[in-house]
Amino acid sequence: MASIHRQIGIDAAPADVWDALRDVGALHTRLAQGFVTDCKLEGATRLVRFSNGLQVSERILDVCDEQRRVAWSATGERLTHHSASAQVFDEGESRSRVVWIADLLPHEMAPAVAGMIEHGLKAMQRTLEAAAATTAGGDWRGG
């Protein structure tokens, strides 16, 4: 089984990053704009459409406020197993670290999934840092 571990620093308050991550039905608007183009929540399942056209059904397994962690599993045509989690860690009052871990089969899919995770983390960084700058009144318009 392939296990992928990726992380990224985000210049946004950990509470705000967690608030966006835990909103599991708003990936496309609050968390990873541009990487996720649509997300529909149906009970404990979300249907996610990515910018590359891929659509995936993800079952939400856990949303843990204490650990600031969301866990999910996915089904798709090419993956026989996929479970993942994303977790927010404090790096100060206004800085966070997001760690995304995915375990999957077949092992040969690891490079493609790792690439998507890296794109997703960069989209999270852009989305959340832009929201933090707007909230702080520090956007380029002098807000």
11: domain CATH number is 3.30.530.20
Which residue, among 67, 71, 82, 35, has the nearest Cα to 54 in the 3D structure? 35
Question: Which residue segment(s) compose the domain that 6 sits in?
Answer: 2-135
In a domain, 26, yes or no: yes
pLDDT score at 75: 77
Which residue, among 82, 96, 75, has the nearest Cα to 21 in the 3D structure? 96
pLDDT score at 140: 41
- Overall number of domains in the chain: 1
pLDDT above 70 as % of the chain: 94
pLDDT exceeds 90 at position 11: yes
Tens of pLDDT, residue by residue over 47-84, are 999 999 999 999 999 999 999 999 999 977 789 999 99
pLDDT score at 137: 60
In a domain, 94, yes or no: yes
Least confident range of 5-9, 50-54, 72-76, 111-115: 72-76
In a domain, 140, yes or no: no
Exposed, middle or buried: residue 12 (CB in 10 Å: 0-12, 13-18, 19+)?
buried
In a domain, 45, yes or no: yes
pLDDT score at 142: 42
In a domain, 112, yes or no: yes
Q: What is the pTM assigned to this prediction?
A: 0.91
Strand 36-42 relative to strand 45-50, pairing: antiparallel
Residue range 95-113: mean pLDDT, rounded: 96
In a domain, 143, yes or no: no
Tokens (6 digits) for 18: 């967690």
pLDDT score at 68: 98
